Amino acid sequence: MAEEEDVPMEEGEGGAEVEVQEMSVLDALKQVLKKALIHGGLRRGLREVAKALDSREAKLCCLAKDCDNAEYSRLVRALCDEGGVDLIVVDEGKQLGEWAGLCKIDKDGEATKVVRCSAAAVVEFGEDTQALAVLLNYLKNQRADA
């Protein structure tokens, strides 16, 4: 008889057990940004992000790696360093724009007409979720490594 690995299980609908999968950091970030947007705690764009960082309201900041203006990136990074705010760099501005709600959702649930976003800041996480726990744990580990 082979040994079985200990995999966390949760009960789904109808009492059936469903395997809990480990969430990636980007998936967690996506969910955290959507929850913040729903609860009115998301700031998008340079003006709103700079105001949130300068007034020390921001708890988390996201910056697109493909931002075409170096001064823009340096300003956001400097404000994050000054305020001690965690910064997460996302690969594409279109991806960040979609996660920040700068798009239309069609009838199939797919994002269309996505507007590029170079920076977003979370001032209120909303509710505590597993995604938030995963993201905060990742950020804590990043601070410890630095």
Residue 14's pLDDT is 47
How confident is residue 146, by pLDDT bands cut at 50, 70 and 90?
Answer: low
Amino acid at 135: L
Residue 51's pLDDT is 92
How confident is residue 19, by pLDDT bands cut at 50, 70 and 90?
Answer: very low
Q: Is the pTM of this model over 0.75?
A: no
The CB-side HSE value for 38 (13 A sphere, CA atoms) comes to 9
pLDDT one-digit tens code per residue, 97-138:
888 877 777 788 777 787 788 899 998 888 888 888 888 888
Question: Cβ neighbours of residue 10 under 8 Å, at least 6 residues apart?
Answer: 17, 18, 20
Alpha carbon distance 84, 98 (integer Å) = 26
Higher pLDDT, 3 or 66: 66
Residue 9's pLDDT is 45
Domain extent listing, the chain: 22-145
CATH-assigned architecture of domain 22-145: 2-Layer Sandwich (3.30)
